[in-house]
Amino acid sequence: MKATHALPSSDPLALTRAWEGTSDEAIVERLRRGETALFEVLMRRHNQRLFRVARSIVRNDDEAEDVMQEAYVQAFAKLEQFEQRARFSTWLTRIAVHEALARVRRRRPLADPDDAALPCSMLNPEDAASHNELGRMLEPLVDALPEAFRAVFVLRAVEGLSPAEVADCLSIPEETARTRYFRARRILQLQVEQRLLASPRRVYEFHLRRCDRVVAAVLARLSAADSGSDSR
């Protein structure tokens, strides 16, 4: 697919609103027909979810951004392979999950996720009270979850996906997704059940500046790849 040499939109809010009523799948069809500048719409639409799920796996903000960039570049290159058997958002999330897990595996061998031990310590009430923002207080608690549970919890509780959608994104059985979610909740209930479940959407917030940075980096990579193919 030939990429356009587009710059990020100067008014991202206007861009997302302009395409608010258009499905991901309809935008993908237009991308396949050559309107590749519309890829920015999909990136801005899904940046929050991809950051959250990548961050829940790699546990580092900068590396989560790297995961997002790689996932978008892979997705753009594989758009012709998207067959709409799943929602585009699920297909894209699965690419990001696989990239994030691959990075974790390169750092160390993965333990059996079902053998993950419960964390022996979490933030105590005094430490939690020192955080001014609820979202910032929750992040280390979610990070303390066993590896197998973090992505499940973020997708289910924070992003609001159904157990079937979580299972599809993570390529695990639906019953496993349900079990890991409930075990994650049980761990978090030890300290912050009421506060956490009252406002879970503050975890791993994806601010506009970060959004712009990821969009610009992906577009630059796509443009560079296009220039390289033209020179051959």
> 106-119 pLDDT, tens per residue?
876 544 444 343 34
Quick check: 158 and 200 in contact, CB under 8 A?
A: yes
Point out the residues of the chain with pLDDT beneath 50: 1-5, 110-132, 196
Q: What is the pTM of this model?
A: 0.70
Quick check: 33 and 1 in contact, CB under 8 A?
A: no
Q: Using CA atoms, how far apart are residues 46 and 68, in angstroms rounded to an integer?
A: 10
Q: Using CA atoms, how far apart are residues 6 and 121, in angstroms rounded to an integer?
A: 48
Q: Where are the domains of the chain?
A: 12-231
CATH class entry, domain 12-231: mainly alpha
User: pLDDT of 195-224, one tens digit each?
Assistant: 545 566 666 777 788 889 999 999 999 998
Q: Extract long-range pairs of 15-20: CB within 8 Å, 24+ residues apart.
A: 15/40, 15/41, 15/44, 16/41, 16/44, 16/45, 19/45
CB burial of residue 86 (10 Å; 0-12, 13-18, 19+): middle
User: pLDDT of 161-171, one tens digit each?
Assistant: 999 999 999 99
